[in-house]
Amino acid sequence: MTCIADLTRLQIHIKNLIAMRKRQVALSGKDYSKMSRRQCEKNGADLTWLGMDIDKATHEAHAAAVDCGIADPRTSYGSIDYRPSAFHHYNHTPTVPRCRQERST
């Protein structure tokens, strides 16, 4: 990728993170005393899933920032387990920056 493509990829990740954080603030600011039990549970579940999405997007943005040369690489890029509910389990492998990818020669 070129430097422009890397910066564009980073920009997209940052825009998505900003939108998710705004949604998180809106959901967190709701008054539970004016909601039914079902609405409270849904809001809490939405916040949990959104937190998982924010964490995944943060890892993707970091990889893009490393590719742009504006962040230092992490020591480990292993898979991450998410359990947003008692019934769901997700294993996410974040994007590895080009400087940490194994070279096949």
H-state helical runs in the chain? 3-28, 37-68
Counting Cα atoms < 13 Å in the Cβ hemisphere of 62 gives 16
Bridge partners of residue 90, in order along the sequence = 82
Give yes or no for residue 86 having a pLDDT over 90.
no
Tell me phi and psi for residue 3, to 5 degrees: -60, -40
Tens digits of residue pLDDT in 15-26: 999 999 999 999
pLDDT value at residue 102 = 66
95 sits in the region (left: phi over 0; alpha: psi -120 to 50; else beta) called beta
Tens digits of residue pLDDT in 26-84: 999 999 999 999 999 999 999 999 999 999 999 999 999 999 989 998 888 889 999 88
Give yes or no for residue 105 having a pLDDT over 50.
no
Give yes or no for residue 98 having a pLDDT over 60.
yes
Give yes or no for residue 1 having a pLDDT over 60.
no
Tell me phi and psi for residue 43, to 5 degrees: -60, -45
CB within 8 Å of 27: residues ≥ 6 apart: 43, 46, 47, 50
Please state, in angstroms and rounded to a whole number, the distance separating the CA atoms of residues 91 and 27: 25
- Residue ranges of domains in the chain: 3-100
